[in-house]
Amino acid sequence: MPRMSLTVNGKAVSADVEARTLLVTLLREHLKLTGTHVGCDTSQCGACVVHVDGRAVKSCTMLALQADGARVLTIEGLAPEGGALHPMQEAFRTHHGLQCGYCTPGMIMTAIDLVNREGHELDEHTIRAGLEGNLCRCTGYHNIVKAIAAGASAMKGKRRAASAA
Amino acid sequence: MYDFTFHRPADVKKAAALLQSSEEVKLLAGGQTLIPTLKQRLAAPRNLVDLGAIEDLVGIERKGRNVVIGAMTHHATVAASAVVMKAIPALAELASHIGDPAVRNQGTIGGSIANNDPAADYPAACIGLGATIITSKRKIEADDFFTGLFETALEPDEIITQVSFPLPIRAGYAKFPNPASRYALVGVFVAERGKKEVRVAVTGAGESGVFRVPAMERALVKRFAPKSLEGVKVDANSLVSDLHAGAEYRAHLIGVMAQRAVEAAEK
Ligand SMILES: Cc1cc2nc3c(=O)[nH]c(=O)nc-3n(C[C@H](O)[C@H](O)[C@H](O)COP(=O)(O)OP(=O)(O)OC[C@H]3O[C@@H](n4cnc5c(N)ncnc54)[C@H](O)[C@@H]3O)c2cc1C
Ligand code: FES
Ligand code: FES
């Protein structure tokens, strides 16, 4: 079995994986980082979005081996366990940007990628266009859009949302 | 997904050698088409050659009157490129509406062109602008490259390395996306390439992929304006009818999108 190593949430890890192992399978099943979700497994829903070398990607549509040597950031890497939430997570809580929470990790990783690319002042159109690859079956998106606008400005001045972990 | 042997060569030469020496082998670029295909077991290669570690395949360069884009350049990089935005803004605009942000962060121009999905965006730009596809073996004019549904002129052991787009006088792209998939229900790329040459390339609608509309091209050579396209009809007979849209509707959309593309080019 091929051996690979990468950095996940700032920690160096190695794993033996079958070549066909998806990145999301490596994260959830090998590394037990179950914050990243699988909603569709067909590249449609965005529940599985993580950052690889600073870019938001669908981890169900990437082989683990494609991330060999890369820096991966997952929802678990945004805030220290038991510590204060990341401003984007906090904004989702304050603005009721989630109901069942299934889509939320992917929404938040996508939102932070959007801030990294487009800055802290995001209008509604930019946010909705940025969420084209993320589906939510509960909220109707309205509060997600509000949460992202608020989270984006709250991130201003705070630590540059770990595009690199 | 069936298992396979994963190769990660560091240069194009090694990748080409692997293609020649391995059985049941396939190239992997961004994986945004291939990985879903593998999951559905529509393809089951025994060897996968990942182009992801080949740095030479990434980048955007202005070379004289051309913009040259490396095969492994992500859609998001093309969309955000200052070089592309200045030289061929319609191309940056096209790239910025492929799929969704995560797909654009991972999908590549080489993969899109090699795949030649009949609803993909880049083939329309290649035909519209008269691009040249540069491979590990030769240069292929876009006109000779796209040969049918998911079919190209590529040989089994040939690798796209770059795509070279000549600068048009002006160009525009308009797409009516399928609201679920974001692929083009109809996409029209219009380019004025010279005083006497206009190209109109249509994706999403043709039974054998991207095609040109000579009647529209003639009308636009006379006068490059949306009005010139009024009354120029596209025959629905050779167009796709599927669960997303009927051929008549697509024929109508081609007219509307072509006018919008000309409008976009005028800006
Ligand atoms: C949800 C979703 C929405 C999408 N929406 C759109 C859309 O709106 N418009 C659009 O155009 N596309 C869309 N796509 C497709 C996307 O653009 C893909 O990125 C693209 O079609 C394939 O590129 P890739 O780099 O991912 O290639 P891969 O999937 O890795 O490869 C595709 C094929 O090309 C071959 N190949 C790859 N690179 C080369 C090369 N350099 N030389 C020779 N052969 C090569 C591979 O062997 C494979 O057969 C969408 C995809 C998804 C998942
Ligand atoms: S689980 Fe990856 S996009 Fe839905
Ligand atoms: S909160 Fe339930 S899917 Fe989005």
The predicted-structure confidence for B165-177, as pLDDT tens digits, reads as follows: 999 999 999 999 9
Helix (H, G, I), strand (E, B) or coil at B251: helix
CB-CB under 8 Å, B105 with A43: no
Nearest-neighbour CA in chain B from A99: distance (Å): 23
Give pLDDT, residue A10: 97
Selected residue with higher pLDDT from A160 and A137: A137
Pocket of ligand 3 (CB under 6 A): A 98-103, 136-139
Give yes or no for B22 touching A (CB within 8 A).
no
- Whether residue A163 has pLDDT greater than 50: no
Distance in Å, CA A144 to ligand 3 centroid:
10
Q: Which two tokens stand for residue A140?
A: 């109707």
> A71 and A98 in one domain?
no
- Whether residue B5 has pLDDT greater than 80: yes
Q: DSSP character for B56? A: G
Residues of chain B positioned with their CB less than 8 A from the CB of A134: 100
Q: What CATH number is given for B5-50 in this structure? A: 3.30.43.10
What CATH superfamily classification does B170-266 receive? Answer: CO dehydrogenase flavoprotein, C-terminal domain (3.30.390.50)
- Whether residue A23 has pLDDT greater than 50: yes
Strand partners, B176: B186
Q: How many domains does chain A have?
A: 2
Q: DSSP character for A65? A: G
> A127 and A94 in one domain?
yes
Helix (H, G, I), strand (E, B) or coil at B80: helix
Contacts of B134 (CB under 8 A, 6+ apart): B68, B140, B160, B161, B162, B163, B164
- Whether residue A159 has pLDDT greater than 80: no
Size of interface A-B (CB pairs under 8 A): 74
Distance in Å, CA A140 to ligand 3 centroid:
9
Q: Which domain holds residue A111?
A: 87-156
Q: What is the CATH number of the domain that holds A91?
A: 1.10.150.120
Which of B151, B156, B155, B146 lies closest to B47 in space, CA to CA? B156
Residue A113 lies in a domain: yes
Q: Which two tokens stand for residue B93?
A: 């605009």
A149 and A78 in contact (C-beta within 8 Å)?
A: no
Residues B31 and B13: their CA atoms lie apart, in Å, by: 21
Contacts of A129 (CB under 8 A, 6+ apart): none
Strand partners, B198: B192
Mean pLDDT calculated for residue range B218-230: 97
> A93 and A69 in one domain?
no
Residues A32 and B257: their CA atoms lie apart, in Å, by: 48
In chain B, list all ranges with CATH 3.30.390.50: 170-266
A72 and A33 in contact (C-beta within 8 Å)?
A: no
- Whether residue A93 has pLDDT greater than 80: yes
CA dist B67 to A45, A52, A95, B187, Å? 34, 28, 45, 22
In the chain, the amino acid numbered A160 is: R
Residue A133 lies in a domain: yes
Q: Could you say which residues from 218 to 257 on chain B have a Cβ atom under 8 Å away from some Cβ of chain A?
A: none
- Whether residue A157 has pLDDT greater than 90: no
- Whether residue A165 has pLDDT greater than 70: no
B36 closest CB neighbour out of A2, A42, A133:
A42
Mean pLDDT, rounded, of chain B = 97
| Domain final residue pick, A77, A103, A127 | A77
The complex's ipTM? Answer: 0.94
CB-CB under 8 Å, A20 with B102: no
> A102 and A41 in one domain?
no
| Domain final residue pick, A77, A104, A136 | A77
Helices A87-94 and A142-154, axial angle in degrees (round to 10): 140
Q: What is the pLDDT of residues B48-98, one digit of tens each?
A: 999 999 999 999 999 999 999 999 999 999 999 999 999 999 999 999 999
CB-CB under 8 Å, A62 with B101: no
Question: In this structure, which topology does domain B55-166 adopt according to CATH?
Answer: 3.30.465
CA dihedral A39, A40, A46, A51 (to 10 degrees): 80
Which of A27, A112, A32, A33 lies closest to A62 in space, CA to CA? A27
Give pLDDT, residue A164: 42
Atom of ligand 3 nearest to the CA of A107: 4
Using a pLDDT cut of 70, give the percent of chain B over it: 100
> A113 and A58 in one domain?
no
B217 and B207 in contact (C-beta within 8 Å)?
A: no
Residue A33 lies in a domain: yes
Residue A128 lies in a domain: yes
- Whether residue B39 has pLDDT greater than 50: yes
Give pLDDT, residue A161: 46
